Amino acid sequence: MNPPPTEELHERLYRAGVIAVLILDDVDVAVPVAKALVAGGVDAMELTLRTPVALECLRRIRKEVPEMTAGVGTILTTGQVNEVVEAGAAFGVAPGMNPRTVAEAARLGLPFAPGICTPTDIELAVEAGCKLLKFFPAEPCGGLNYLKSISAPFAHLGVRYIPLGGVAQDNLETWLNEPVIHAVGGSWLAPKDLIQAGDWAAITARAAAARATVNKVRGEWE
């Protein structure tokens, strides 16, 4: 299956509001984690390529939890772009702005969000045709006030951001209230300890809390 068109994917992520960011070491937990997130109202996730089983996890989720919009993060090379497209990723994410990787994603039709933390990063990303960018690491880089400052010169271009790094339930509403924020990356939704414990109910509860915040800020979708 080909990735969704970029505009369609962007609409899905905006409606999701929160994207669960996961590092999975065991393929057998992929489907239970995805189902737990969906049960709480979070239907978008980024599986990071930090473990050798990430792409197999993606394949299982695509097959068994089709309502989950599953993308892949930590894409660092053009070869990985090809691998994630072959595995059926809905979108790709990178920690930085690599022009070659972005160009390969565009060639293959993979919606892609490169990482930025400076005005130069944003300028390079816009030149490469990207309008949805990952702000990483968000809080260590200066948080929302810093992003508002560096994003201002590009606001008229319609550039939007997904912050990740230091974002959690207690500051989620503040981030979502900023107009340039498209969605928020959430590693707190399914942390390693809850996954290892198989505590799917706790993950569902965290997802439900995040979903409630998204609905509070943006309203509920029909």
Tell me the catalytic residues. Answer: 46, 134
In whole angstroms, give the CA distance from residue 89 to residue 1.
9
Peptide bond into 137 cis (omega under 30): yes
Q: Name the residue among 47, 45, 48 with its Cα closest to residue 18.
A: 45
Instruction: Give every CB contact of residue 219 below 8 A, 6+ residues apart in sequence.
Output: none
In whole angstroms, give the CA distance from residue 37 to residue 47.
13
What is the residue type of 195? I
11, 160 contact by CB (below 8 A): no
Count of C-beta atoms within a 10 Å radius of residue 78: 17
103, 130 contact by CB (below 8 A): no
119, 150 contact by CB (below 8 A): yes
Does the CA dihedral 159-162-165-166 come out positive or negative? Answer: positive
For the sheet with 132-135, list strands across it: 115-116, 132-135, 160-163
